[in-house]
Chain A
Amino acid sequence: MSQLLGIPPQALFGQLLLGLINGSFYALLSLGLAVIFGMLNVVNMAHGALYMVGAFVAWLLLSYAGVGYWGALVLAPLVVGLIGLVLERTMLRRLYKVDHLYGLLLTFGLALIFEGAFRHWYGVSGQPYPIPDLLKGGTNLGFMYLPTYRGWVVAASLLVCLGTWFAIERTKLGAYLRAATENPTLVQAFGINVPVMVSLTYGFGVALAGLAGVLAAPIYQVSPLMGSNLIIVVFAVVVIGGMGSILGAIVTGLGLGLLEGLTKVVYPEASNIVVFVIMAVVLMMKPAGLFGRER
Chain B
Amino acid sequence: MPDGMHTKTAMLEIADLHGYYGESHVLHGVSLEVRQGEVVTLLGRNGAGKTSTMRAIMGIMGKRTGSIRFQGQELIGMAQHRIPRLGIGYVPEERGIFSSLSVDENLTLPPVVKDGGMTVPQIYDLFPNLKGRGSTQGTRLSGGEQQMLAIARILRTGATLILLDEPTEGLAPVIIEQIGVAVRALKARGFTIVLVEQNFRFAATIADRHYVMEEGHVVDMIPNDQLDANMDKLHTYLGV
Contacts and interface: CB of A to CB of B under 8 A. Distances in A.
B109 A189 contact: no
A190 B98 contact: no
Contacts of A183: 96, 98
Contact of A191 (B85, B100, B101): B85
Contacts of A175: 101, 105, 108-109
Main SS of chain B's interface residues?
Answer: loop
B200 to A, nearest CB: 26
B101 A179 contact: yes
Contacts of A190: 84, 90, 109-111, 157
B100 A182 contact: yes
A176 B98 CA distance: 10
A180 to B, nearest CB: 9
Contacts of A10: none
B98 A182 contact: yes
B92 interface: yes
Interface string A147-179: 000000000000000000000000010011011
Interface string B64-95: 00000000000000011111110000101000
Contacts of B90: 186, 189-190
Contacts of B58: 189
A207 to B, nearest CB: 23
B22 to A, nearest CB: 10
Nearest to B58: A189
Nearest to A169: B100
Interface residues of B, number: 24
Contacts of B79: 193
Contacts of B9: none
A12 to B, nearest CB: 40
Contact of A186 (B92, B100, B108, B157): B92
B109 A176 contact: yes
Interface string A110-149: 0000000000000000000000000000000000000000
Interface residues of A, number: 18
A7 interface: no
B135 to A, nearest CB: 12
Main SS of chain A's interface residues?
Answer: helix
B98 A179 contact: yes
Interface centre among B96, B100, B113 (most CB of A within 10 A): B100
A189 B98 contact: no
A24 interface: no
Nearest to A179: B98
Contacts of A194: 81
Contacts of B109: 175-176, 179, 187, 190
A104 B108 CA distance: 35
Nearest to B89: A190
A178 B100 CA distance: 6
B125 to A, nearest CB: 23
Contacts of B105: 175
Nearest to B79: A193
A272 interface: no
Nearest to A168: B100
A18 B56 CA distance: 57
B60 interface: yes
Contacts of B81: 188, 191-194
Contacts of A63: none
B60 A191 contact: no
Contacts of B83: 189, 191
Contacts of B108: 172, 175
The 9 closest A-B pairs by CB, nearest first: A191-B84, A190-B110, A178-B100, A186-B96, A191-B85, A193-B81, A175-B105, A179-B98, A189-B90
Interface of A: 172, 175-176, 178-179, 181-183, 185-194
24 contacts: A172-B108, A175-B101, A175-B105, A175-B108, A175-B109, A178-B98, A178-B100, A179-B100, A179-B101, A183-B98, A186-B90, A186-B96, A187-B109, A188-B60, A188-B81, A189-B59, A189-B83, A189-B92, A190-B84, A191-B82, A191-B85, A192-B81, A192-B111, A194-B81
